Amino acid sequence: MEPTISFFSGFTPNDLLFLGEAALRTLWISVLSISIGTVLGVFFGWILFEGKWAAALTVAPVLDIFRSVPLIIQLVLFYNFAPIVGLNLDPFASGVVILTIYTAALVANVARGGIEAVGTPMRRAARSLGMSYWQDLRHVVLPIGGRAVFPAWVGVALGVMKDSALVSVLGYVELLKASQILITRTQEPFLILSIAGAFYFALSYPISRYAASLEKRWAQ
């Protein structure tokens, strides 16, 4: 008699390793998207501040679209329409592109708020001391404005890290996708989702605590 093969099996240490590897993929796509998106967002924020009406008519509407349209729709549309223009990107690359633009759109207003937080008298004082425009940005606006909006940026970064779970709709095996695969096989959703939640907490908590310690250090 042939042995009976059971499709479902219990949760094993290899499954935990599988979730751990997926958590690292989540961390990687998040770090890459947040880093590039932050740089672009600061640039766009500077354009919004300096461009005034021109930026309001050009850059601002585009950023509003990426802030307003649900991220999952952006991911699906880009992944399906990119090949039409000759961009044959895999799920990871597509996810990085959209998450980066999405992050930049969120950070842009944060960056503009940081620039506006530095009062005009202070910037005039810097220029009166002989600083150039770019020296003023580097030595006055960036330190003061950056500290003012740092908590908001941390909130954006943590939000994007959690939103990276939506890349699973493209087939990229990050933490949520890995959890879905294991739930289908083991039929143990409570255990697996609890472990996945613990991984998300382990990724996010150090960032929030380090940010809090930086804020305390700056306040001294």
| Cβ atoms of residues 185 and 9 within 8 Å | yes
Whether residue 180 is contained in a domain is answered as: yes
Structural domains counted in the chain? 1
Determine how many CB atoms are found less than 10 A away from the CB of residue 31: 14
Which of 78, 76, 31, 104 is CA-nearest to residue 166? 76
Q: Looking at the domain assignment, is residue 44 inside a domain? A: yes
What's the predicted TM-score (pTM) here? 0.87
Assess if residue 10 is contained within a domain. no
Q: What CATH number has the domain bearing residue 61?
A: 1.10.3720.10
Domain presence at residue 40: yes
Residue 13 resides in a domain: no
pLDDT tens track, the chain, 220 positions = 444 444 445 777 888 898 999 999 999 999 999 999 999 999 999 988 887 777 777 888 888 889 899 999 999 999 999 888 888 889 999 999 999 999 999 999 999 888 888 877 777 888 788 888 888 888 888 888 888 888 899 999 999 999 999 999 998 888 888 898 888 888 888 888 898 899 999 988 888 888 888 878 877 6
16 within domain boundaries: no
- Show the DSSP H helices in 118-188 as ranges: 120-128, 133-136, 142-163, 175-186
Report if residue 220 sits inside a domain.
no
Host domain of residue 150 = 22-214
